[in-house]
Amino acid sequence: MDEKKLTLRRYKDGDDEHLPLQEEIFVGDTSYKCPVYVHRTPPCQGSCPAGEDIRGWLNIVRGIEKPPADMSWQEYAFLRAADANPFPAVMGRVCPAPCEDGCNRNEVEDHVGINAVEHFIGDFALENGLKLPPAGPDTGKKIAVIGGGPAGLACAYQLRRMGHACTVFEGREELGGMMRYGIPGYRTPRDVLDGEVQRILDLGVEVRTQTKIGVDIELATLERDFDAVFLGLGAQAGTPLPVPGAGEAANCISGIAFLDAFNDGRLRHSAERVLVVGGGDTAMDVAAVARRLGHISQSHEKDRPEYVVLGQTTHDVASVAKREGAEVSIIYRRPVEKMPAARMEIEHVLQEGVEIRGSLAPVEVMLDERGRARALRVIEVDWEDGQMKTKEGSEFEIECDLIVAAIGQVCDFTGIEELENDRGLVDADAFYRWPSREGLFVAGDVVRPHLLTTAIGQASIAASSIDHYLRGEAQGRLPKINVHHFSLLEKLRETHHAPTEYDHAELRGTDTAEFAIHNYEDRSQSQLVPSDELFLGHFAYVERQHRTESEIGPAEVLGHFQERLHGLSEEETQAEADRCMSCGICFECDNCVIYCPQDAIFRVKKDDSTMGRYVATDYTLCIGCHICMDVCPSGYIQMGLGE
C-alpha cells in the first residue's frame, strides 16, 4: 500500500486528552489496579452473520491453539469452523466476507484473508473425507424442516447435534436452495456443494424432495405429525421491474429466474444485447453468466431465452456450438461506487467486458409491434442527502433484446398464504419464532433476503429456540453479541484442566482454589475489542496472501465455466492465518512477560498451559504500572483487578 498507517506508538501527535481519572490514578509509578485477562469478541466475528469463531480457527491454523493429540490441525480447524457453518468450502468461495471489513488488521496494512483460509479448510475437509460432529443422543423429538437451502440444512444440522430427528421437505429435485439454483455453478462447483450437503445428511437427516408444502402436503399436517416445524423456504422468486411495459414484455424477466434456468441446465445461451437492472451480487452473477452464454442467431421463436426461463422450452444442446458473444450492460440507480455487490464481483464482470452505468433509473419498458421489449427508457438521477432526484430532460433509451431485473426477491407462498406479511415475506421475533403460531419457527431469506451466511446464522439461533421449545424451557435474553464463542472452560475440559467441583462451603482466600478460573473475565457476549485498545506497533507490515485467479478477459469469457478463484496452498494458508492479531485473546507473544519491570507476570507451567491460560500474574509483586496492558498486542490484558 502507498500510505502506511502509523502503528508504532499507542498515542499519536496531538493526543493530549487524558483518560477518565479513575483509570489514571498513579502514585509515582504504581497504581491500585492490577491486570486481569479479559476475553472479548474480535470485530471479524462480530461482523460475521453466521457467528463463526473466526479468531479461533485462524489461531488453530497458525499453530497457537493446539488440537487434541489424535487430531490434525486441519481437522481441528474444520470442526471449529463447522461449529457455526457446515459449508466452509462454499462460503470460502462465495461469501462477500463482511468479516474482512471489520478486521482490525485493516489499521495496519490490509485485512486478514479470512475467506481464503476458510476456502482451504473447506476443501481440505472434502478432499480428506472429514465428518461433521456426530448427532447427539436421541431425544425422541422430530422436526419438519421446510426448505433444503442453506437455512433449512443448517438448522437440520444443528438440531441433529442436539439429538432431534429431522425431515427436510424440498420442493425441488435437489437440495441446496440458492447455493445450487441461485449462484452460478462455476462459483459453487457441484462436487463441492454435494459433498457439504451429504455430510449433513450422513448425520441421519431424512429428505423428501419434490414435495412442496401447501401443494403436495399441507402445513397443518406437518404441525400435527411433528413436534415443531421450521420454515426455511428462501426467497426464490424475483421482484418484477416496477415500470410501465415490464409486465407485458415476455423478454423482461427476473434475475432469480434467469439464474435458476441456467443452473438447472435449461438455459444454454442468452440474447445478443442483455440489459441487467440492479447493483447486487445477483445482478453481477446474471451479467457474468450472460457473457459466458453468449447468443445464437435465432432461427426459431422457441430459442429465445425468455421462453426457456419461463419453462416453456429447453435449449437444444447442438445449438451451443453456434453461439456468439453477447453485449451485456448493467444499470443501477445509485452511483457505481455505492453498489452493494462485492467489490471482487464488480471487478470481475468489468474485466469480462460488462459495461456498468450508475445513477440511471428505469422509466419504462419500450415495446415493439409484437409486444416484446426493444429498449429500456431510463433517466439520469442525482442523490442528495440520501434522496434520489431526477434530472429533467435527461431521459433516453437503451436498446436491448433481453431485460433482466435483479432488484429484489420474494417468497412463493402458494398454499401457505396465511404466513405471508405485507412485504411478501414472513414475520419473526428475535428468537426466529413465528409470533402467532406456537411451534413454528422461521429463518433465512423468507424473513429477510440477505447473504447465505446470514441464513446460516439465523438458522443456528432458530435451532436453539426449537431446542428450548421442545424441552419446555423458557428462553432468556439473547446476548448482545450472539455468536459461537470460544469457551475457556470447554478448552480446559478438553485438555484435562477442568476446575474441580465446588462444595459451596463458605471460605476465604480463594485465589489458589482449584474450583475456579482465576484472573479471567469473559466479556465476549457483550464487548467487541476495538483497534485502539490493541498495541498495533507490535505488528510488522506483512502483505496479504492473495488467491490466484484465472485471467478471463472479454475475449476468453464466452463458454468459460471453470472456477475463476483458486485456493491457497497449505503454506500460504498458514502464513495468512499468522497475520491474524488474535484480537481479544492471548496469542502467546511474551510481551507482557518481557516488559514487566517487577517480573510479576510469568508463563504458566507447560503442563498447565492452554489457549487463554498462557500467562498468569503474581499479585504480590505487581505494582499496577499498566505496562503489560500497553504492550499487549491483542487487548487481552486490561487493568481492573482491585476495583
Each residue's pLDDT tens digit, 260-307: 999 988 898 899 999 999 999 999 999 999 999 998 876 566 667 777
| For residue 4, pLDDT beyond 90 | no
Question: Which string of DSSP letters, residue by residue, matches 279-297?
Answer: -SHHHHHHHHHHHHH-B--
Q: Give, rounded to a whole angstrom, the gap between the first and last alpha carbons of the chain.
A: 43
- Give me the mean pLDDT over the 548-573 stretch: 95
Q: What is the value of pTM for the model shown?
A: 0.91
CA atoms within 13 A on the CB side of 35: 26
Residues 6+ apart with CB under 8 A from 119: 88, 89, 92, 93, 547, 565, 567, 568
Using alpha carbons, select from 529, 540, 546, 484 the residue that is nearest to residue 102: 529
> Which pairing describes strands 520-522 and 34-39: parallel, antiparallel, or unpaired?
parallel
> Residue 631 corresponds to which cell in the numbers above?
504492550
Which pLDDT score, from 0 to 100, does residue 315 have? 57
Which domains, from first to last, does the chain contain? 21-129+485-641 (no CATH), 142-236+411-471 (3.50.50.60), 238-409 (3.50.50.60)
Q: How far apart are CA 546 and CA 539, in angstroms?
A: 19
Q: How far apart are CA 481 and CA 489, in angstroms?
A: 19
Which pLDDT score, from 0 to 100, does residue 1 have? 44
- CA 367 to mean position of chain CA atoms: 41
The string of pLDDT tens digits covering residues 44-86 is 999 999 999 999 999 999 999 999 999 999 999 999 999 999 9
Is the Cβ–Cβ distance between 165 and 470 less than 8 Å? no
| For residue 316, pLDDT beyond 60 | no
447 or 27, greater pLDDT: 447
| For residue 421, pLDDT beyond 50 | yes
Where residue 326 falls among pLDDT bands split at 50, 70, 90?
Answer: very high
Is the Cβ–Cβ distance between 447 and 428 less than 8 Å? yes
| For residue 170, pLDDT beyond 80 | yes
Query: Can you give the C-alpha Rg of the chain in angstroms?
Result: 28
Calculate what percentage of the chain has a pLDDT beyond 70: 92
Q: What is the mean pLDDT of the chain?
A: 91
